[in-house]
Structure 1
């Protein structure tokens, strides 16, 4: 099936999408060698550099693979789901289980590595969470996540910080649902204040064991609630 020439700009995105359609639509089956860059460029009406960038995008999506000296071959007809998409689909219980693994270790590291600036930020974040007790659920959940983000940041590990950041959108959606479903703030608008204060105290005091244990207990209680639903 011939490929129609493309409209101007953004050419790489258009080229990527057109080639993706050929693969996912079955025109090029798994194991098929794609036409060369020159042929593809002529079919699409673009330069070879545009085709090269489009092929790189398809490699990243897990659809094709380049074999040294042999060419580019189709290895899948469905794009690989990226991490963000997986998190969007994940059950909140799954997110929370991984959250425990990430945050407990982050809290231990934070207690060992926190700086004066981190200490000030932690106190500010705790005060912000307490102030949000009088606000709506969304503001309270945001303040809660901000405090946990501050603890993770105090670990001074950019990989941990980045990983937690990836969890935040899915975590926020799950927490909002949980707060509304169980009406957790009906009698205690500042739900969990004692545990969060203990966490901040442990990190500020440099007590890694207490920080990890406090957070494990706090997250464990929420996880138990989720499993009971």
Structure 2
């Protein structure tokens, strides 16, 4: 029997259960013993076992089925998304943005509502007003416009992915514009106008292309800076 003494106990219990799964004690699809049995084996309370199971369920390893028990649904421990983002280089992050936003732009062209277009128009106008503002304000206004496009795609997964990237992208964007500003801020804003017009005109391929062109240029500038 493995007795756990270090804190936090729930983390230690989760690690112990994961190790036993990795060792093949419980195969894919196998049902785990009950909380009482696991608590006795690990030398912890049932509430600690319950929390450990919740942790592993959140990582996609276990699944609690009402009235049936807890089952192994994956043998792979998927790395925490925030940890992946912290480790990733900024160019990789922008490449991910490119993939998300180019598809979001095409979907927005097909799905945008009048309310979506009004939101995009206001955000774009605000971006134009802040071209010569402090860099942080301009970056935030630019982000708000791109967020409005992703929102207009009406795809919750794309929106969640976009939002998860922003905290990682923002500092790099501020640094980039401070060190290597766009060759022409007015030309850059005009490219955003073209993107908006493609979405407003329901021209999906044109919107996708405009988004890829704009973010592709950003990727090149970041790569040159690296």
The TM-score with structure 2 as length reference comes to 0.76
Q: Deviations over 1:175-213 (max 9, x none)?
A: 12221231x06x756672111111112111222222122
1:134 is paired with a residue whose SS is coil
Aligned-pair CA distance for 1:131: 2.1
In structure 1, the residue matched to 2:11 is: 17
Aligned-pair CA distance for 1:122: 0.8
Name the CA distance, whole Å, in 2 between partners of 1:169 and 1:123. 24
In structure 2, the residue matched to 1:147 is: 145
* Cα gap change, 1:218 to 1:226, in 2 (>3 Å): same
Name the CA distance, whole Å, in 2 between partners of 1:108 and 1:168. 21
Specify which of 83, 89, 92 is matched with residue 91 of structure 1.
89
Name the CA distance, whole Å, in 1 between partners of 2:85 and 2:53. 26
Matched, 1:204 2:200: yes
Contact 2:6 2:12 in 1 (8 A): no
Contact 1:125 1:147 in 2 (8 A): yes
* Cα gap change, 1:226 to 1:89, in 2 (>3 Å): same
The TM-score with structure 1 as length reference comes to 0.75
RMSD over aligned Cα atoms: 3.4
* Cα gap change, 1:55 to 1:97, in 2 (>3 Å): same
Structure 1 residues 22-41: aligned runs within 5 Å = 30-31=22-23, 33=25, 37-38=35-36, 40-41=38-39
* Cα gap change, 1:148 to 1:51, in 2 (>3 Å): same
* Cα gap change, 1:109 to 1:65, in 2 (>3 Å): closer
In structure 1, the residue matched to 2:210 is: 214
Uncovered stretches (5+) of structure 2, i.e. residues with no partner:
27-31
In structure 2, the residue matched to 1:102 is: 100
Aligned-pair CA distance for 1:217: 1.2
Contact 1:129 1:143 in 2 (8 A): yes
Task: Provide the aligned length of Structure 1 versus Structure 2.
Answer: 210
Structure 1 residues 67-86: aligned runs within 5 Å = 80-86=78-84
Uncovered stretches (5+) of structure 1, i.e. residues with no partner:
7-13
